[in-house]
Amino acid sequence: MDSIQVSGIRAYGYVGYLPEERVLGQWFEVDLTLWVDLESAGKSDCIEDTLDYREAIAIVKEQITTAKFDLVEKLISAIADKLLSLEKVNQVQVRLSKPAAPIPNFSGRITLDIIRSKTN
Protein backbone atom coordinates (compact mmCIF):
# COMPACT_ATOMS: atom_id res chain seq x y z
CA MET A 1 0.00 0.00 0.00
CA ASP A 2 1.20 3.49 -0.83
CA SER A 3 1.51 6.18 1.81
CA ILE A 4 1.92 9.89 2.35
CA GLN A 5 3.94 11.04 5.34
CA VAL A 6 3.46 14.44 6.93
CA SER A 7 5.73 15.44 9.78
CA GLY A 8 6.13 18.37 12.12
CA ILE A 9 2.52 19.52 12.47
CA ARG A 10 2.48 21.82 15.51
CA ALA A 11 -0.52 23.28 17.29
CA TYR A 12 -1.31 24.71 20.72
CA GLY A 13 -4.00 22.94 22.71
CA TYR A 14 -5.58 22.49 26.12
CA VAL A 15 -5.56 18.72 26.59
CA GLY A 16 -4.09 17.19 29.72
CA TYR A 17 -4.77 15.47 32.99
CA LEU A 18 -3.41 18.29 35.15
CA PRO A 19 -5.53 21.44 35.62
CA GLU A 20 -2.71 23.70 34.46
CA GLU A 21 -2.52 21.81 31.16
CA ARG A 22 -6.20 22.49 30.52
CA VAL A 23 -5.91 26.16 31.56
CA LEU A 24 -2.47 27.23 30.34
CA GLY A 25 -2.24 24.85 27.39
CA GLN A 26 0.82 23.46 25.68
CA TRP A 27 2.31 22.69 22.30
CA PHE A 28 1.67 19.38 20.59
CA GLU A 29 3.56 17.93 17.63
CA VAL A 30 2.10 15.35 15.25
CA ASP A 31 3.57 13.17 12.51
CA LEU A 32 1.30 11.23 10.18
CA THR A 33 1.51 8.30 7.83
CA LEU A 34 -1.59 8.11 5.65
CA TRP A 35 -2.06 4.96 3.60
CA VAL A 36 -3.74 5.84 0.30
CA ASP A 37 -3.73 4.43 -3.21
CA LEU A 38 -1.47 6.75 -5.22
CA GLU A 39 -1.59 4.81 -8.49
CA SER A 40 -4.36 6.84 -10.14
CA ALA A 41 -2.77 10.17 -9.23
CA GLY A 42 0.58 8.91 -10.49
CA LYS A 43 -1.00 8.35 -13.88
CA SER A 44 -3.45 11.27 -14.09
CA ASP A 45 -1.49 14.08 -12.37
CA CYS A 46 -4.84 15.26 -10.90
CA ILE A 47 -5.23 16.23 -7.26
CA GLU A 48 -8.73 14.76 -7.27
CA ASP A 49 -7.13 11.31 -7.60
CA THR A 50 -5.10 11.62 -4.40
CA LEU A 51 -5.38 12.85 -0.85
CA ASP A 52 -4.90 16.59 -0.50
CA TYR A 53 -2.66 16.49 2.56
CA ARG A 54 -3.52 20.11 3.36
CA GLU A 55 -6.87 18.75 4.54
CA ALA A 56 -5.14 16.24 6.83
CA ILE A 57 -2.98 19.00 8.33
CA ALA A 58 -6.05 21.17 8.92
CA ILE A 59 -7.84 18.28 10.65
CA VAL A 60 -4.93 17.69 13.03
CA LYS A 61 -4.66 21.39 13.92
CA GLU A 62 -8.42 21.74 14.41
CA GLN A 63 -8.58 18.69 16.68
CA ILE A 64 -5.69 19.93 18.85
CA THR A 65 -6.90 23.53 19.15
CA THR A 66 -10.52 22.67 19.97
CA ALA A 67 -10.28 19.45 22.02
CA LYS A 68 -11.03 19.54 25.75
CA PHE A 69 -9.97 16.02 26.77
CA ASP A 70 -8.19 14.95 29.93
CA LEU A 71 -6.02 12.37 28.21
CA VAL A 72 -3.80 12.63 25.16
CA GLU A 73 -4.89 9.06 24.39
CA LYS A 74 -8.36 10.46 23.66
CA LEU A 75 -6.89 13.25 21.53
CA ILE A 76 -4.77 10.94 19.38
CA SER A 77 -7.75 8.60 18.89
CA ALA A 78 -9.97 11.52 17.85
CA ILE A 79 -7.34 12.65 15.32
CA ALA A 80 -7.07 9.13 13.86
CA ASP A 81 -10.86 8.74 13.64
CA LYS A 82 -11.27 12.07 11.87
CA LEU A 83 -8.50 11.26 9.38
CA LEU A 84 -10.06 7.87 8.65
CA SER A 85 -13.28 9.66 7.71
CA LEU A 86 -11.47 11.01 4.64
CA GLU A 87 -12.57 8.99 1.63
CA LYS A 88 -9.14 8.12 0.27
CA VAL A 89 -7.47 7.18 3.59
CA ASN A 90 -7.43 3.43 4.28
CA GLN A 91 -5.13 3.40 7.31
CA VAL A 92 -3.40 6.01 9.43
CA GLN A 93 -0.50 6.15 11.83
CA VAL A 94 -0.52 9.11 14.21
CA ARG A 95 2.47 10.01 16.40
CA LEU A 96 1.61 12.72 18.91
CA SER A 97 4.23 14.30 21.18
CA LYS A 98 4.12 16.62 24.14
CA PRO A 99 7.54 18.30 23.91
CA ALA A 100 7.35 19.80 27.38
CA ALA A 101 5.52 17.37 29.65
CA PRO A 102 4.79 18.94 33.07
CA ILE A 103 6.71 16.33 35.05
CA PRO A 104 9.19 17.50 37.71
CA ASN A 105 12.86 16.85 36.89
CA PHE A 106 12.00 15.56 33.40
CA SER A 107 13.05 17.48 30.31
CA GLY A 108 12.18 14.85 27.70
CA ARG A 109 9.10 14.40 25.58
CA ILE A 110 6.14 12.05 25.78
CA THR A 111 5.08 10.43 22.49
CA LEU A 112 2.08 8.25 21.69
CA ASP A 113 1.95 6.24 18.47
CA ILE A 114 -1.17 4.52 17.12
CA ILE A 115 -2.18 2.80 13.89
CA ARG A 116 -5.85 2.59 12.94
CA SER A 117 -7.58 1.18 9.85
CA LYS A 118 -10.98 1.56 8.29
CA THR A 119 -13.36 -1.23 9.11
CA ASN A 120 -15.22 -2.48 6.09
Is 43 annotated as catalytic? no
**Helices and strands (DSSP H and E) totals, the chain:** 4, 4
Q: What is the distance, to the nearest Å, from the Cα of residue 37 to the centroid of all Cα atoms in its chain?
A: 20
Sign of the torsion angle spanned by Cα atoms 55, 14, 28, 17: negative
Indicate which residue of 43, 74, 88, 98 is catalytic.
98
Alpha-carbon distance of 117 to 120, in angstroms, equals 9
Which residues does the annotation mark as catalytic?
Answer: 98
